[in-house]
Amino acid sequence: MSRITAPLADLYSSIRSDLREVARVFDEELVSDFPFVDDLCDRVRAYRGKMLRPALLLLAGKTCGSVSSNHHTLGAVIEMVHVATLVHDDVLDEADERRGQEPINSVEGNVAAVLLGDYLISHAYHLCSSLKDQTAARLIGATTNAVCEGELLQNRHRGDTNLSESLYFEIIKRKTGALTATACELGAICAGADAEVVDSFRSFGLSVGVAFQIVDDMLDIRGARQEVGKSLGLDFSDGKLTLPTIHCLANAGPETAAALRSAVLGKTTAGRDCLLRWLAETDSLAYATSVALEYIGRARSALEILPPSDARSSLTAIAEFIIQRRL
């Protein structure tokens, strides 16, 4: 796999004007008669970040033919759902930074943050209902159900030192993979793609989403806060096992495994340096990287059904960018 040196924004060059339109639809939808609600919406716009999921939706549409106003609407819907999950995640994780600024929960409190996340979800459905075909609305509904299932599963297994890799993947396929898969699927559907192509885009999005989450989990362990732009180390401190720690527990010697298990259960305190040393003993970060690479390979293979095009090349480059970000 070649090293991607271009910034992600350059990979969006063919859809830059479409992304601006998505942002416009997003902004116009989030308007309230109450100034304090508008102020909250202004703050949450900073959560949009790289707009990866709308970009994938637009590029899927472009690969399959052309981008329409429905793509812009659905790009905004997908981003609203994604931003809502970030707002809620910051409450669950008690985070104190998001995109380099204080998150909503730190400034306005947990109640306001939860309600704002709900407000974003309700607006996403309101916007989705403006489309004549309700296929997208049903798919978005099923996807948000899956995201919630993933979060509930993860919460249920906090501190579970027997969490298996298979259950970890069930969690991240729902909490992260499902929304990315839906973004790609909707992009193809709205461009009039046939069922086989739509399925290929769903597979591409799911694989990209899983790889993204594995990388995100690794960054939580060894990333630089000023580069990642959010609170780090929260998974370990909250008792959430991720692929590196699951692999370490399964492959470490008795002493290291016992120390890691005790730290996950909150019986002892272990800092980042300690965790990194344990993971190094079992090559667990290298293992997680290799699994993420496998999923990127699956994503690339899913696109082989499509004829070569600039949009397809951009999708491949974005998939490769995900595995390379800050690693």
Mean pLDDT of the region 62-71: 95
- Give residues with Cβ within 8 angstroms of 89, minimum separation 6: 95
Whether the per-residue pLDDT at 90 is higher than 90: the answer is no
Torsion sign over Cα 301, 306, 310, 314: negative
Backbone angles phi, psi at 304, to 5 degrees: -65, -20
Residue 312 — pLDDT band, cuts 50, 70, 90? very high
Pick from 72, 76, 92, 93: nearest CA to 41: 76
Instruction: Write out pLDDT tens, residues 130-183.
Output: 998 889 999 999 999 999 999 999 999 998 999 999 999 999 999 999 999 999
Instruction: Report how far residue 248's alpha carbon sits from residue 56's, in angstroms, rounded to the nearest whole number.
Output: 33
Instruction: Report how far residue 254's alpha carbon sits from residue 256's, in angstroms, rounded to the nearest whole number.
Output: 6
Burial of 74-83, coded b for 16+ CB within 10 Å and e otherwise, reads bbbbbbbbbb
Torsion sign over Cα 142, 136, 323, 223: negative
Mean pLDDT of the region 72-95: 91
At residue 7, the pLDDT reads 63
Mean pLDDT of the region 271-287: 92
Instruction: Report how far residue 288's alpha carbon sits from residue 242's, in angstroms, rounded to the nearest whole number.
Output: 9
Whether the per-residue pLDDT at 227 is higher than 60: the answer is no
| 111: three-class secondary structure by DSSP | helix
How far does Cα 108 stand from its chain's mean position?
24
DSSP state of 5: -
Backbone dihedral region of 109: left (phi > 0), alpha (psi from -120 to 50 degrees) or beta? Answer: left
Whether the per-residue pLDDT at 228 is higher than 60: the answer is no
Mean pLDDT of the region 269-276: 83
**Domains in the chain and their CATH numbers?**
8-324 (1.10.600.10)
At residue 99, the pLDDT reads 66
Q: How many other CB atoms are there within 10 angstroms of residue 226's CB atom? A: 8
At residue 95, the pLDDT reads 73
Q: How many residues does the structure list for the chain?
A: 327
- Give residues with Cβ within 8 angstroms of 126, minimum separation 6: 29
Whether the per-residue pLDDT at 87 is higher than 50: the answer is yes
**Residue 15 corresponds to which amino acid?**
I
Contact (Cβ atoms closer than 8 angstroms) between residue 120 and residue 84: yes
Highest mean pLDDT pick, 103-107, 133-137, 228-232, 298-302:
298-302
**Residue 70 corresponds to which amino acid?**
N
